[in-house]
Amino acid sequence: MFMTQWGQLGFQDANSPLMEQLIFFHDHSMFILTIILTLVMYITILLMTNKFSSMMITESQKIETIWTIIPSIILLFLALPSLKLLYLLDESINPLLTIKALGHQWYWSYEYSDFMNIEFDSYMTPSNELNEGSFRLLETDHHLIIPMKTNTRMIISSADVIHSWTVPSLGVKVDAIPGRLNQLNLFSNRPGLYYGQCSEICGANHSFMPITLEIVNMDTFNNWLLNMNK
């Protein structure tokens, strides 16, 4: 099971190539920002403790040129990886599976578009019905089940107000907007149980419409399909 723990400061463990790249970019950006912050603090302390002054420091075209060029180079080191990520976010694939997710106040409904008569609603499991080891406010009565290492297309919309379908471990967050279809691509590296929640304030019970994503191997997924079609 993969979810955020109490006191956790970092990201959840990545389970998709996209989330791995997002974490790499975050670490890359934090490394550059740490170097900048350290350098600025060091120079500030030197200036505050130094009693000498020089006209070449207070007024110098060479220094002004340097502190204009260096930030531009630093911005390039941040911009190029971010452009690569934007390309990966919008990359089109040939999905082997298409699933529709429809947001309601306050639950999600799912439809497997490639198969006949496979659709269900997913409600949060009440606290008094939770099994031992289940997570309060995150467990649902029906899990969204997808196969691992398979390109899956999610089509997201809403039946009433704006919702947001979010699974942090996969690095996906897409708004569900009434009258509009939004699309995202899923690709998971390993099986497991992954949790998400609606990330758009959608009403009084906004905190009670979780997402439980169960990722399984292809054989288990095929068996589940056969059982659902009976």
* CATH code of residue 189: 2.60.40.420
Instruction: Classify 74 as helix, strand or coil.
Output: helix
179, 195: one domain: yes
As given in the structure block, the two tokens for residue 225 are 């399909």
Mean pLDDT of the chain: 87
How many domains, the chain?
A: 2
The answer to whether the peptide bond before residue 67 is cis (omega within 30 degrees of 0) is no
The answer to whether residue 73 scores a pLDDT higher than 60 is yes
The answer to whether residue 54 scores a pLDDT higher than 70 is no
68, 113: one domain: no
Q: Is residue 10 part of a domain?
A: no
Q: Is residue 11 part of a domain?
A: no
142, 178: one domain: yes
120, 67: one domain: no
22, 128: one domain: no
The proportion of the chain whose per-residue pLDDT surpasses 70, expressed as a percent, equals 92
pLDDT of residue 228: 79
Alpha carbon distance 77, 68 (integer Å):
15
Domain end call among 75, 90, 105 = 90
Q: Is residue 9 part of a domain?
A: no
pLDDT of residue 5: 66
The answer to whether residue 2 scores a pLDDT higher than 60 is no
215, 165: one domain: yes
Alpha carbon distance 177, 16 (integer Å):
25
116, 222: one domain: yes
What is the value of pTM for the model shown? 0.79
Q: Is residue 82 part of a domain?
A: yes
More confident residue, 93 or 99: 99
Domain boundaries, position 180: 97-229
